[in-house]
Amino acid sequence: MTGVRVAVPAKINLSLRVGPLRPDGFHDLATIFQAVSLIDEVTVAHGEPDSGRLVTVRGQRIDGVPLDDRNLAARAAIAVAQLAGLDDPDVRIEIDKSIPVAGGMAGGSADAAATLLACRRLWEVDVDDAVLHRLAAELGSDVPFCLLGGTARGTGRGEHLVPVLDGGQWHWVVAFDEGELSTPEVFAECDRLRAIGAAEPTLGSDDELIAALRSGSPQELAPLLVNDLQPAALALRPSLAATLELGTELGALAGIVSGSGPTCVFLGADRDHAIGLAAELAGTGRVRGVRHAVGPVRGAHLVA
């Protein structure tokens, strides 16, 4: 399809601290995001007259991805069209997915970020990055970071971002689970566990983690990874505990559930160590799939 093509990375949360439920139904978050080299590509083009918004998706395990206006990419196109004063334009959105669906790596948010950038170019909308960031924040908590990329501290719902100085190239092993987890359900389970005293918010700050990122030392970073949603993800999907244990037994410096899960990520000491770990983990046959990923990488960017 001829049009505007944008590449956009997955995210992992090196730290995810979840505050109490707010009156608006969201939680205050304090998180350290990192963009990693699992990449979706989104192509946006003018559609045929009276065709409306057409979304097509290619990739593995995409059966549950909506192809109408429930798709976050379609909603991103609508947001840019409204900003441009376009009345329900005909547009085609093609998504080539490598980021797992409902895997805790912001796949839907990444596609929305890519669509914002692509539609701005397609329709030649004269708005700066700050306006695009505002639209991203209205679409979802992770969408602004998918635009930014790199490594960043997120607060609020995660949409208020400050870049973090990162002195290393980090090698991750990403283990895909057989199923999916709903982010709202994981947050609800987190609230339930806290209400019965089975889980508590993580105390402290991310200052040590940020210092470890600056140092570039995987050994310093490993013990500082934290995810307040992990107990909830494990409660909903107990098999993830065995995946985390397996990665550690095979030599990962650390393992953690990515965001709301069910994807697990493991930190390698260097490229060779991570590639070897990925091969061993895949060879066990106990996870659906394994990928080696590098971070940080750039956020959403035009490729054609």
* Per-residue confidence (pLDDT) for residue 304, from 0 to 100: 67
A 10 A CB-CB count for 174 gives 27
Mention the CATH class of domain 170-295: alpha beta
Helix 72-84 crosses helix 129-139 at what angle (to 10 degrees)? 140
Residue 69 annotated in active site: no
Under CATH, what is the fold of the domain 4-161?
Answer: Ribosomal Protein S5; domain 2 (3.30.230)
Q: Does residue 151 have a pLDDT over 80?
A: yes
Give residue-wise pLDDT tens across range 73-108: 999 999 999 998 888 788 999 999 999 988 899 999
- Residue ranges of the domains in the chain? 4-161, 170-295
Tens of pLDDT along 194-234?
Answer: 999 999 998 788 999 999 999 999 999 999 999 999 999 99
What per-residue confidence (pLDDT) applies to 302? Answer: 97
pTM of the model as a whole: 0.94
Low-confidence winner among 20-24, 40-44, 117-121 (lowest mean pLDDT) = 20-24
What pLDDT digit, counting tens, does each position of 58-67 carry? 998 888 788 8
Residues 6 or more apart whose Cβ sits within 8 Å of residue 139: 72, 75, 76, 79, 109, 112, 116
Q: Which of 111, 142, 166, 177 is catalytic?
A: 142
Could you confirm whether 142 is annotated as catalytic?
yes
By the 8 A CB rule, do 27 and 3 touch?
Answer: no
Q: What is the pLDDT of residues 244-259, one digit of tens each?
A: 999 999 999 999 999 9
| 224: Cβ contacts below 8 Å, ≥ 6 apart | 14, 15, 206, 208, 209, 212
